[in-house]
Structure 1
Amino acid sequence: MTEPGVLMLILFFSAVLYVVFKRRIARSSLSLPPGPKKLPLIGNLFDLPTTSPWEAYHEWSKMFNTDIIHLSVAGTSIIVLDTYDAATELLEKRSSIYSGRVQLPMLNDLMGWNFDFAFMDYGDVWRDHRRLMNDFFNPSASKQFRAQELKAARRLLVRLLNNTDDITWNLRQMAGEIIISVAYGLQTKPKDDPYIRIAEQGVHPILEVSVPGAYLVDTIPLLKYVPSWLPGAGFKRQAQKWKELAQKMVNVPYETMKSNMEKGIANPCFVLSCLQKITEGEDPIYNEYNIKCVAGTLFQGIVAGSDTTVSLMSWSIITFLELPEIMVKVQQEIDSVVQLGHLPDFNDENSMPYLTAVIKEILRWKVVGPLGLPHQLQAEDEYRGYRIPVGSLVVANVWHMLQDETVYPEPSKFIPERFMGKGSDVEAAEHQLNVFWGFGRRICPGRHLAFSSVWIALVSILSVFDIVKAKDENGNVIEPVIECPPSLLLSPLPFKCEFRPCSKEAEAMIRSVIDDL
């Protein structure tokens, strides 16, 4: 290169470095978003609300006249986005830097949960797993699993006819059947299914590990290198036991499915389709490691992911108990579409806009995940003149976005018609409802399967049952007590009600289903 060329190159890089440096200086001088006053060291530790934090966050947003607030808890920066516009701007449009996940050494490294892309940080491996998942669970591809969903819904009818003492268990059994059959093509037992038991044993430790401050290694990551035989390293020995349970959860159903494939008795499922693609050899993401990990992510959903489906089903039943007139309108729609003496199926979906609108309104009215799952910012950023520190946990106030009266007039009322017909209002309501499933590159990849599972279950139930309040031994109505334990998901505790066959013909239809299962 000539001397003038070298000089030009030096000047170019000098200019770039100057601009970058100047921007960093300017950004570092920006103030943080508004929020409650912080105490030294502990920040807003004592300000964090213990009940309904989404409501408190919204009140702070109104108090400070902002759609973004900042909290600090013992040095951890927390950003809360209170509006759809703020969440869309950052979590959607800037998703390349807002798609991180907090990495817990105890969970990801020591317990071996780095296979699960739900807990995986954003990067190349995550992208491969996500793409593999999307290949099979996008709106079009997910329809291939409707036979499994329909069969699980029909089995649910039989269980509700014979036993309504534990509604939540019945719903969870249905969700578990769908996931196991979709992921591995395996059938479940009516009671004490070994695969569901394996999933429960594998996932249960997450509840303990996810409690902030439960393990010092999450605060001091270097502790993960401490030998397990040292005094005080009991966490490593415990992690090893939990790791074995997680590996069993990932390996057992996968190896069973492979064995069925070799015997020629494998049922259509995610793993079978993926393994067949390996032989085609056209796409490197189809390898056994990726397939096993993504299937394991699906499988742990029997306990974790199915909570969304179970919660939606539970809130739907509660809605019909609280608003029986809505149930009657849905049943009238079903009767007008489904041929007498037949049970509904997915072919009837397009002819039942009211039921679909009811489910969407339940999503909005009873927000299962009011704060979603936190993202982690991977680079320093700026929004509306505020500095957002790298490493911040970014939380979206989904509850307020689905209660926003500018999009959903009279948000406290149950109005399914918000999602019916055409026009800008309906389009805005539909568009904003997507926040229920998350944002950007972290949006729930199984949302289409989850929605269709809820739809087929509800249309099946309401075609043959009236959902009514339970009565005691004296014939007095038992008003359902609806309680939700503190959690990331607002899922009601078990409650009582009755599933009463609409007629003798309906009961006979349910019993006839047994022969087809």
Structure 2
Amino acid sequence: MLSSVVSLALIVAFVVAALVTRRKRPLPPGPKGLPLLGNIYDVPKSREWLAYQHWSREYDSDVIYLNLAGTPVVILNSADAAYELFERRSALYSDRPKMTMLNDLVGCDWHFVFMGYGNRWRERRRVFHQYFHPSAAMQHRPRALRGARFLLNCLLDAPDDFMGHLRHMAGSLIIGVAYGLEVQPKDDPYVATAERALHAMAMAGNAGSFLVDSIPMLKYVPSWFPGAEFKRKAMEWKKSTTAMVEVPYKAVKRAIADGMAPPSMILSLLGTLDGNDESTHLEKLYSGVAAAAYTGGSDTTVSALGSFFLAMLLYPDTQRKAQAELDRVIGNDRLPDFPDERSLPYITAIVQEVLRWRPVTPLAVPHRLTSEDEYHGYRLPAGAIVVGNGWAMLHDEKRFPDPEEFIPERFLTPDGQLNSEMKDAELPAFGFGRRICPGRYLASASLWISIASILSTLEIYKPLDDRGNPIQPSGEYTTGLVTYPLPFKCGFKPRSRTAEELIRTAEFHLD
């Protein structure tokens, strides 16, 4: 009897000691902040990733803690921390915070990327995966190839509108895959609708940008109330996100009714409906998944190719090295194709470096910690918003020396082959864990074939001003969930008469 009492006392003492020790674990370091309001005035309204990276260095910690008016926020600034928490402990870190601005006010609750982890998310992710997993993405390569070759013509005919051409190419690819719709060569309404929605989502989805995400009760403030500018913005942005879901979907439904609908993801999905009571639910699900498909591929392609053009202006030697490889492997009597990828490691390294140098999403979409956890002796509270700072990870001097420089060779071995030790080093550009971007395979394929096609046939150069001096790009970027280079001048000209002929005749070979 005595031994049982002693054993019970030891167990109780151990549990109490464990609880006391757990309670004593400190939170990760971070700026002190104000009473009640915490750090809401410490977080800048733009380029937040740079502030988080600065604090990581200042406090000598790859994990930073912020208090946004009572909402705990944990920033992960290293690939090691992201791998340990988002990958190895994914059961705890795969949820999403509420994101009041984006989901409630801007109306993006249909987008599975921003949904909480659970059956509703799994159902949509499963549908998406059917059409965009690696093998399925291979089937979309012919469309990506055609888009890249059409882009070459556009760059020759109207070089000043190169960012517009990128949007058109990316939009036509994913709208074709998801809806089977053909877009107009210029000023297409579907592309314009989606671009407005993408802008709204980029502005509303960045962690820490809007106080209403930290104090959800603010969503009830009238839009006319002083300081309620966020409500007025949300009302306008919601029109765009709603149209993004409804407009192309209704167009496909009309085409189906007329017997004119070409093959697409939506056509395939709607063909599985049998008119039962669940059909209405599934139609809503499918229309949301199709709209989410656009955001998964188009923004990556447009942002990354914009950064690619910028890099080629700033690093002309890189352009020449890439063209030398293309000339050696492809020659001058044809255009690159996907089977050439294994023979063009320098082109692949450029793609990887573009994603690293100027990541499309410097801050990943926030995760939510479902129960209290511990990392390197720090206490991570349950319910905390956990954000992967992809910018900091991809600009880590230890892994990427001279991180601000564009150096594709960092992904190659000394003999010019892809370095297996750097495989997927640029992956933080696509998010983390179970919530990594599922559209990355198609986006990467489109990015690769576009870069290979452009460098094979065109010279990218700085145009001259009125005095004959090269116009220098600012190199600055927009802010938000997805970032783009600020407008800059960029010139394009055929590398040879043969190259121009290849561009002009390429479309006919795809019919």
| Shorter-chain TM-score tier | 0.7 to 0.9
Residue of structure 1 in register with 2:244 after alignment? 249
Matches within 5 A, 1:459-498: 459-498=452-491
In structure 1, the residue matched to 2:150 is 155
Aligned length: 496
- Residue 372 of structure 1 is matched in structure 2 by 364
Cα gap change, 1:510/1:305 in structure 2, threshold over 3 Å: closer, same or farther?
A: closer
How far has the Cα of 1:443 moved from its partner? 0.6
Partner in structure 2 of residue 442 of structure 1: 435
Which residue is 2:187 aligned to?
Answer: 192
Matched, 1:76 2:71: yes
State the match for 2:287 in structure 1. Answer: 292
Q: Is the Cα contact below 8 Å between 1:166 and 1:494 reproduced in 2?
A: no
Aligned residue for 2:123, secondary structure, equals helix
The superposition leaves residues 427-463 of structure 1 with CA deviations (integer Å, 9 ceiling, x where unpaired) of 3422432212111111111111111111111111112
RMSD: 3.8
2:425 — aligned with what?
A: 432
CA contact (8 A) 2:49 2:389 kept: yes
| DSSP-derived class of the 2:365 partner | coil
Pick the aligned partner of 1:335 from 327, 331, 353. 327
Is residue 2:124 matched to residue 1:124?
Answer: no
Contact 2:71 2:214 (C-alpha < 8 Å) held by counterparts: no
> Which of 170, 173, 187 lines up with 2:168 in the alignment?
173
CA deviation vs aligned residue, 1:115-151 (integer Å, no higher than 9, x gap):
1112211111101111221222122211111121111
Counterpart position of 1:457? 450
* Aligned partner of 1:396 among 382, 388, 393: 388
Contact 1:43 1:73 in 2 (8 A): yes
- 8 Å contact kept, 2:205–2:481: no
Cα distance in 2 for partners of 1:178, 1:20 equals 58
Residue 6 of structure 1 corresponds to none
State yes or no: 1:86 paired with 2:81. Answer: yes
Q: Contact 1:84/1:432 (CA < 8 Å) preserved in 2?
A: no
What is the deviation of 1:405?
3.5
- What is the identity percentage for the equivalent residue pairs of Structure 1 and Structure 2? 44
Q: Using the alignment, how far apart are the partners of 1:209 and 1:60 within structure 2?
A: 24
Q: Is the 8 A contact 1:99 1:376 kept in 2?
A: yes
User: Which of 385, 405, 418 is residue 377 of structure 2 equivalent to?
Assistant: 385
- Tell me, in whole angstroms, the C-alpha distance in 2 between the residues paired with 1:169 and 1:187: 17
Shift of 1:54: 3.4
Q: 1:351 to 1:101 in 2, by over 3 A?
A: same
Using a 3 Å threshold, how does the CA distance of structure 1 residues 473 and 394 change in structure 2: closer, same or farther? same
For 2:198 and 2:303, the matched residues in 1 are separated by: 18
Which consecutive unaligned segments of at least 5 residues does structure 2 have?
1-9
Counterpart residue type for residue 492 of structure 1: P
Q: Quickly say closer, same or farther: Cα 1:151–1:466, change in 2 above 3 A.
A: same
**Preserved CA contact (<8 Å) 1:167 1:494:** no
SS of equivalent to 1:467: strand
Equivalent-residue separation in structure 1 for 2:48 and 2:228 (angstroms): 35
In 1, distance between residues paired with 2:455 and 2:426? 24
TM superposition shift of 1:417: 3.0
Cα deviation, 1:334-377, whole Å, max 9, x if unaligned, reads 22232543222212222211100121122222233332222122
1:243 CA drift (Å): 5.3
- The change in CA–CA distance for 1:328 and 1:237 in structure 2 (over 3 A counts) is closer
Look up the match of 1:8: none
SS at 1:466's partner residue? strand
Q: Secondary structure at the match of 1:118?
A: helix
The offset of 1:330, in angstroms, is: 1.4
Partner Cα separation in structure 2 for residue 246 and residue 61 of structure 1: 35
Q: Determine which of 246, 254, 269 is the counterpart of 2:264.
A: 269
Q: What amino acid is aligned across from residue 395 of structure 2 in structure 1?
A: Q
1:351 counterpart letter in structure 2: S
* Distance verdict in 2 for CA 1:23–1:439, change over 3 Å: farther
Call closer, same or farther: CA 1:268–1:376 in 2, change over 3 Å. same
The SS at the match of 2:364 is coil
Which moves more between the two structures, 200-209 or 170-179? 200-209
SS in structure 2 of the partner of residue 114 of structure 1: coil
Report the AA paired with residue 438 of structure 2: P
Candidates 50, 58, 73, aligned match of 2:53: 58
1:420 and 2:412 equivalent? yes
Question: Equivalents in 1 of 2:273, 2:44: separation in Å?
Answer: 50
- Paired letter, 2:114: F
Rounded to whole Å, the distance in 1 between the matches of 2:378 and 2:345 is 44
**Cα offset, 1:160, TM superposition:** 0.6
Q: CA deviation at 1:318?
A: 1.6
**Residue 393 of structure 1: how far off its partner (Å):** 1.6
Tell me whether 192-201 or 448-457 shows the greater mean CA deviation.
192-201
Residues 267-296 of structure 1: per-residue CA shift (max 9 Å, x gap): 3322233334557x9xx9x94333222002
Cα shift at 1:422: 10
Q: Which residue number corresponds to residue 164 of structure 1?
A: 159
Do the aligned partners of 1:80 and 1:396 also contact (CA within 8 Å) in 2?
A: yes
Residue by residue over 1:158-180, the C-alpha shift from the partner in whole angstroms, topping out at 9 and shown as x without a partner, is 11111111221111111111111
Query: For 2:328 and 2:265, how far apart are their aligned partners in 1?
Result: 36
Partner of 2:344: 352
Tell me how far apart the structure 2 counterparts of residues 380 and 309 of structure 1 sit (CA, whole Å): 37
Partners of 1:344 and 1:434 lie apart in 2 by 25
Q: Answer yes or no: is 1:219 the counterpart of 2:215.
A: yes
Which residue type is aligned with residue 138 of structure 2?
Answer: K
The answer on whether the counterparts of 1:99 and 1:442 sit within 8 Å (CA) in structure 2 is yes
Looking at structure 1, the residues matched to 286 and 13 of structure 2 have their Cα atoms a distance apart, in angstroms, of 46
Contact 2:366 2:385 in 1 (8 A): yes
2:4 paired residue number: none
Aligned match of 2:7: none
Displacement of 1:314: 1.3
SS in 1 for 2:500: helix
Asked whether the 8 Å contact 1:167–1:495 carries over to 2, the reply is no
Distance 1:54 1:215 in 2: 17
